[in-house]
Structure 1
Amino acid sequence: MGLEPSTRPWLFARMIGSFAIMSIVALTIVLFAAAVIGTAVYLAITVAFAVVRGYVLSFGGGVPGGELWGLWVSNAGPIAMVIGIVSLPLFYRDPIRAEIRRFNAEIGTTGTLATERHPEIATMARRLSQQADIAEPEVRIVNRRRPESYALGGRSNGTIVITRGVVRALEDEEIEAVLAHEVSHLANGDGRLVTLLLVPMLVAEHLGSRERPAFQFFHGLGVFAYVAHVFVWTVLTAVTTAQLLACQLGVGFLSRGREFAADRAAAELTGSPGALASALETLHDVRGRPDEDLRDFRRSAGALDILPPDEKRRASDLFRTHPTTERRIAVLRSMAGSETH
Structure 2
Amino acid sequence: MLYEALRRNQRRTYLLMGFFALLLASVGAAVGYVMGDTRLGLGLGLIFAAFYLPFTYATASWQVLNLAGAREVSEEEYPELHHVVEELALAARMPKPKVYVVDDPAPNAFAVGLRPEAGAVAFTTGLLQLLDREALEGVAAHELSHLRNGDSRLMTLAIALVGVIVLLSDLGQRLLFYGGLFSGGREERRDRDRSGLDALLYVVAVLLLLLAPLAAVLTQFALSRNREFQADASAVDLTRNPQGLIKALTLLKEHHATVKRATPATAGMYIVHPFKEGEGSFWAGLFSTHPPIEERIRRLQEM
The normalised TM-score by structure 1 is 0.66
Give the drift of 1:122. 1.3
Distance 1:304 1:83, change over 3 A: same
2:106 partner SS: coil
1:182 partner SS: helix
Q: Does the 8 Å contact 2:27/2:168 carry over to 1?
A: no
Aligned CA-pair RMSD: 3.5
* Percent sequence identity over aligned pairs: 26
Distance 1:173 1:237, change over 3 A: farther
Give CA deviations for 1:253-292 in whole Å, capped at 9, x if unaligned: 3333332232122234333322211211222222324545
Match of 2:201 in 1: none
Match of 1:169 in 2: 130
Q: Equivalent of 1:287, from 256, 271, 274?
A: 256
Match of 1:97 in 2: 54
Q: CA–CA distance in 2 between the matches of 1:326 and 1:156? A: 33
Match of 1:309 in 2: 274
Q: CA–CA distance in 1 between the matches of 2:99 and 2:18? A: 34
Q: CA–CA distance in 2 between the matches of 1:166 and 1:96? A: 33
Give the drift of 1:8. 4.0
Q: CA–CA distance in 1 between the matches of 2:213 and 2:96? A: 35
Q: CA–CA distance in 1 between the matches of 2:237 and 2:9? A: 17
Q: How many corresponding residue pairs?
A: 270
Where relative contact order (Cα < 8 A, 6+ residues apart) is larger, the structure is: 2
2:104 partner SS: coil
Q: Equivalent of 1:202, from 163, 166, 183?
A: 163
Determine if the alignment matches structure 1 residue 136 to structure 2 residue 96: yes
Gap runs ≥5 in structure 1: 40-76, 214-226, 230-235, 336-341
Match of 1:253 in 2: 222
Q: CA–CA distance in 2 between the matches of 1:90 and 1:5? A: 39
1:160 partner SS: strand
Q: Does the 8 Å contact 1:96/1:202 carry over to 2?
A: no
Give CA deviations for 1:133-180 in whole Å, capped at 9, x if unaligned: 112111111223333311222333321122222212222222221101
- Over alpha carbons, which structure has the higher Rg? 1
Q: Equivalent of 2:211, from 221, 237, 242?
A: 242
Determine if the alignment matches structure 1 residue 10 to structure 2 residue 33: no
Match of 1:232 in 2: none
Q: CA–CA distance in 1 between the matches of 2:102 and 2:206? A: 36
Q: CA–CA distance in 1 between the matches of 2:22 and 2:207? A: 18
Q: Equivalent of 1:331, from 270, 293, 299?
A: 299
Give 1:329's aligned amino acid: I
Distance 1:156 1:293, change over 3 A: closer
Q: Equivalent of 1:185, from 128, 137, 146?
A: 146
1:287 partner SS: coil
Q: CA–CA distance in 2 between the matches of 1:267 and 1:293? A: 27
